[in-house]
Amino acid sequence: MHMNFSEDAQHSYFFSQPHQPFFILAFVNALAIMLIFMLSFKGIIHMNITAIDYHAYGFIYLLFTPAFFGFLFTTFPRFASTPAIQKHTYMKVFTFYYIGSALVILGSIATPVFTGFGMLISFIGHLLGTLILKNIYTTTTMEDKDDIFWILLAMSIGVVAHGLIIVGSLLHIGMTGFATEIAIYLYLFMLAFAVAQRMVPFFSHSMVEKNTYLLKSLFILLILHILVEGFIVNGSFIIDLLIGALLLKEVLRWRLPFPNPNPLLWILHIALYWAGLAFVLGGLTNLISLWSGTSFLALDVHILVLGFVFTILIGFGTRVTLGHSGNMMQADKYTTFLFYWTQVVVVARVLTSLVTALGWNFMVLFDITATVWIVMFVAWALRFFEVLIKGKKLVN
């Protein structure tokens, strides 16, 4: 496919490294999706797709997936000891994602035809990007390919789930919920954790021997979680408690220096603790829901996605942005504040679920949660967009 970017775009700093355009796209999408979702949820605007489906698809495939590609197109070749990905290669994926994202977001309030085409175009971008990673995996001469295998497997499952969601949405077949479960646990979480268990102990100078069975055990338990939930809603509480215990035991085994004085590290450590807590709290709330019928408004999913995936995304994203722009690898007061703010987002969403479970009106907390999310991404953009677009040097 021949690129239609102008010569200026082709040679600009903005497109010189893969993480730059992908991070910008992910963050702009995060703002647009949340704004439309909030206005739709409050009945201010009408959407052509259900608010829940839009919420799930938008964040999984238009926020996290471009952000993952931005990170992996930069680091996956390093993990595999292969040459860096060429610009014309990653720009093809970006082009599909840029056009697809715009059509999905525009189509949600204009016409479902745009949404359908946008999802298909985004899917092509997702598939192309995954094939690039697969090519790196198959060409590397490294002997230890365990970590990159799990990263590639999780991304591949994400593509399959992406396709199932599109088929379910376009043909109105009731598979989108099941496909979304696969996307959350075997794609989003599994990929983010496969990267985290490799990178965070390394950054933290943890010398503990690697647990070679960790990702395999986790993967099997996550499959069991999805299968049980498919037959009995909230019935996976025992499996969830087992996963939570496995994760917390493993993270404690790493002996991460916590609390850590370095914000670039403690943000990653906090995310890892949230991973284990998400499954423990999810198991407990699922048991309560099964027993009493109480709704926790998807508390387990939101603690996992916000507490772990979102928190570690901000941590790794900030680290990559600083490290690949010639800036000092340290968090100033502004960046440290952003890291604290990620936890305000998590806590606000947890409170929304707890208020719902108590039977109170959660709309005020819903508004607060959506607002702190928007503030988070606007504040990050104000600090780092110029770094990504122009290579700005920050004054600490």
pLDDT tens for each residue of 143-194: 999 999 999 999 999 999 999 999 998 887 878 999 999 999 999 999 999 9
Are residues 107 and 231 both part of a single domain? no
Structure token pair of residue 266 = 């403690």
Of the candidate ranges 44-58, 63-77, 133-147, 330-344, the one whose mean pLDDT is the lowest: 44-58
Q: Is residue 180 part of a domain?
A: no
Q: Is residue 307 part of a domain?
A: yes
Report the pLDDT averaged over residues 223-248: 96
Report the pLDDT averaged over residues 67-95: 97
Confidence band, pLDDT 50/70/90 cuts, at residue 220: very high
Report the pLDDT averaged over residues 352-360: 95
Are residues 201 and 93 both part of a single domain? no
d(CA 52, CA 74): 32
Task: Return the SS3 of 23.
Answer: helix
Question: Does the pLDDT at position 349 exceed 90?
Answer: yes
**How many domains are contained in the chain?**
2
Are residues 345 and 270 both part of a single domain? yes
Confidence band, pLDDT 50/70/90 cuts, at residue 6: very low
Report the pLDDT averaged over residues 351-364: 94
Q: What is the pLDDT of residue 257?
A: 86
Q: What is the pLDDT of residue 258?
A: 78
Q: What is the pLDDT of residue 43?
A: 86
Report the pLDDT averaged over residues 319-348: 96
Angle at alpha carbon of residue 92, lines to 136 and 73, rounded to 5°: 40
In terms of residue numbers, what domain contains 292? 197-211+224-386
Q: Is residue 93 part of a domain?
A: yes
Q: Is residue 305 part of a domain?
A: yes
Q: What is the pLDDT of residue 2?
A: 42
Domain CATH code at residue 262: 1.20.210.10
Are residues 376 and 304 both part of a single domain? yes
Are residues 229 and 349 both part of a single domain? yes
8 Å CB contact between 36 and 47: yes
Q: Is residue 86 part of a domain?
A: yes
Are residues 305 and 338 both part of a single domain? yes
pTM, entire model: 0.95
The proportion of the chain whose per-residue pLDDT surpasses 70, expressed as a percent, equals 97
Q: What is the pLDDT of residue 51?
A: 82
Are residues 155 and 205 both part of a single domain? no
Give the CB-side neighbour count of residue 245, counting CA atoms within 13 A.
9
The residue whose two tokens read 């990929």 is: 191
8 Å CB contact between 181 and 231: no
d(CA 344, CA 361): 20
d(CA 289, CA 303): 16
Are residues 162 and 232 both part of a single domain? no
Are residues 237 and 342 both part of a single domain? yes
Question: Does the pLDDT at position 9 exceed 60?
Answer: no
Angle at alpha carbon of residue 318, lines to 216 and 14, rounded to 5°: 110
Question: Which ranges constitute the DSSP H helices of the chain?
Answer: 7-11, 19-41, 51-57, 65-80, 87-107, 112-139, 146-171, 176-182, 190-203, 214-231, 237-253, 263-292, 299-302, 311-323, 333-357, 363-390
Q: Is residue 131 part of a domain?
A: yes
Report the pLDDT averaged over residues 49-78: 95
Of the candidate ranges 15-19, 51-55, 378-382, the one whose mean pLDDT is the lowest: 51-55
Q: What is the pLDDT of residue 20?
A: 97
Are residues 162 and 235 both part of a single domain? no
Q: Is residue 183 part of a domain?
A: no
Q: What is the mean pLDDT of the chain?
A: 94
Of the candidate ranges 51-55, 199-203, 355-359, the one whose mean pLDDT is the lowest: 51-55
Are residues 243 and 305 both part of a single domain? yes
Q: Is residue 315 part of a domain?
A: yes
Question: Does the pLDDT at position 122 exceed 90?
Answer: yes
Are residues 65 and 101 both part of a single domain? yes
Question: Does the pLDDT at position 336 exceed 90?
Answer: yes
Question: Does the pLDDT at position 11 exceed 90?
Answer: no
Confidence band, pLDDT 50/70/90 cuts, at residue 396: low
Of the candidate ranges 218-222, 225-229, 342-346, 361-365, the one whose mean pLDDT is the lowest: 361-365
